[in-house]
A = this chain, B = another copy of it.
Amino acid sequence: MLVLDIPSPPLPAAVPTPRSQDSGCESCAVRSRSICASLQAEARNLLGRDGRIVSVPRGRTLVWEGEDSALVANLIEGALKLSTSTTDGREQIVGVAYPGDFIGRPFNDRSPHSVTALVDSRCCLFPRAAFDRFAHDHPELEHRLLGTVLDELDRARRWMLLLGRKSASERVASFVLELSERLGDNGCAPAAPLDRFDLPLDRQQIADILGLTIETVSRQLSALRSAGILDLPARRTVHILDRPRLIARAGN
């Protein structure tokens, strides 16, 4: 079930002139960071014809866990969470996507997790079947996709160490560090970690990433503030004052 009651976006996907015509890709903000970067202009425009740019308001779910995986996408702007739940409703966030990231489950007709916008976002959506077909015919795209999926797997496994073996204070420190590194990676500049940034997540979502409760997250953040390691000037703003000590607290 996919609901996208969004006014048709300003994208010439349905214009008469087909093929090797600019489908908007030339001006795409994440072209150089997304998997599309692997493609030559002609192939990119061919793929672009299958894509539709849609706005996804905060809180809207693009894909539901267990439902058939009808689409894949590149995130252009915003942030998305990937999450799974137990039968009785406990939730775990298993990944967060940032601009340039690829989301969805190619080559499989069930999605193992839900995908939901954390903040107002924009995606370039592809019907999965069309994407699968295109990928199969374009090894350079599959090669790039393989690289990003391997990176995601590494990240997921690092997170398993956090979830299985780290204390609450180590988890929160690790979370702040990872976020500062991911947000600092704009794709263009040589990826320096940020010392000051805004959280795209509220406390409950942080808890759902770390396998903790909202109260424990709050207490640990307060502890880091008291220790002079962080400043928290606003609800969603983090300022890292003492990165070395933060790293020491992350435990790996």
Contact = CB atoms under 8 A, between A and B. Distances in A.
A131 interface: no
Given A92-B160, A165-B86, A150 B251 contact: no
A153 B107 CA distance: 13
As for how many copies of this chain the complex holds, the number is 2
Interface in A89-108: 90-92, 94-95, 105-108
Contact of A106 (B84, B150, B252): B150
A37 interface: no
Contacts of A106: 150
Nearest to A84: B161
A139 B137 CA distance: 10
A215 to B, nearest CB: 16
Contacts of A85: 161, 252
A153 B139 CA distance: 21
Contacts of A170: 86
Given A142-B142, A149-B153, 19 more contacts: A82-B157, A84-B157, A84-B160, A84-B161, A84-B252, A86-B161, A86-B165, A86-B166, A86-B251, A87-B252, A90-B166, A92-B161, A94-B160, A107-B147, A112-B158, A142-B146, A149-B149, A159-B160, A160-B163
